[in-house]
Amino acid sequence: MIQNSNIINRFKEILSQKGPHSDDFNEIIRIVDELSTDDEIEKFRDMLEPVLKPDTIIGHSYTKPLGYSGDYLIIEKMYRFHKNTHPNYVKWDEFFHWLPAASAVINRKKLAVSLLKKLNQNTKKEYPRVLILGSGPATEVNEYLESVTDNKLHFELVDFDQRAIEYATEKNQKYMEHITFHNKNVLRFSPDGCFDLIWSAGLFDYFQDKLFVRLLRRFSYYLSDNGEMIIGNFNISNPSKKIMEVLGDWYLYHRSQELLTNFAMEAGINKENIEIFSEPLGINLFLKIKKS
């Protein structure tokens, strides 16, 4: 397909105009979705080599300057609608923010803030505890704490990347009395006590099925009575899946509502304590487990 001279010339044109205009976005998606072989994908990446560098958000994903996909910096760039103002790159960042998956990531942050406010408002406990697995930039915690004047929640944030913890610590400096950080891999993290909410928005879709179930079983043990664990996972219907993989080299385990329900049951959770919901676009699913 990449041998098609019309496609090659079209992308030369897009590159010559320093990136896609908004009316080019859907055309790029259509072309990428039609790539069917590894050879076609590599040729396509070769054409876009000037863009696939850390100067753009999609290039940050592709080159992985911190060593792994979905690092705290790229998530924060999504949260902040970051655009590189250099004329060679700004249009590509606008294209990235246009992607439905990027909007879904923003939606899950908003959802987290809403859930934290609800817990803070409804709790009868003096010291409710929240555990966040794969906390990254901890922006949802910061936005929540910035928005309330009567916070009762105490947060324990777990991330394997010390750089993420340092970034989140600086961001939340004035709220550190409410936050404890753990520089640990979640596979080796053992919580001290139980939690009223366990939240993990963007971690479990990097895990293979058996590990997903094992961690679900393990961490559900640490729920307080009436506590909830909410795990995010990209839906199999994610319309940005192919573009994330081809241009971002960003691979996730996409899962259905049925599969997430089955995982929870395999982890020993009663079906009546399982709920699946999504953010408004339906791209990020959430598995909610309640301890009754």
Contact 182, 190 (CB under 8 A): no
Q: What is the mean pLDDT of residues 172-178?
A: 98
In what side-by-side order are the strands of the sheet with 179-183? 179-183, 154-159, 129-133, 195-200, 223-234, 284-290, 274-278
Residue 132 and residue 274 in one domain: yes
Quote the number of domains for the chain: 2
Instruction: List pLDDT tens digits, range 137-169.
Output: 999 999 999 999 999 999 999 999 999 999 999
Can you give the residue range of the structural domain that contains 241? 102-290
User: Which of 55, 77, 99 is at the close of a domain?
Assistant: 99
As given in the structure block, the two tokens for residue 216 are 């679900």
User: Which of 63, 81, 99 is at the close of a domain?
Assistant: 99
Q: What is the pTM of this model?
A: 0.95
Residue 16 and residue 153 in one domain: no
CA–CA gap between residue 290 and residue 226 (Å, rounded) = 6
User: Which of 71, 99, 127 is at the close of a domain?
Assistant: 99
Residue 195 and residue 224 in one domain: yes
Residue 228 and residue 122 in one domain: yes
CA–CA gap between residue 74 and residue 48 (Å, rounded) = 19
Residue 69 and residue 151 in one domain: no
Residue 168 and residue 281 in one domain: yes
As given in the structure block, the two tokens for residue 68 are 């792994």
The pLDDT value given to residue 5: 67
The pLDDT value given to residue 10: 85
| CATH number, domain with residue 198 | 3.40.50.150
Amino acid at 36: S
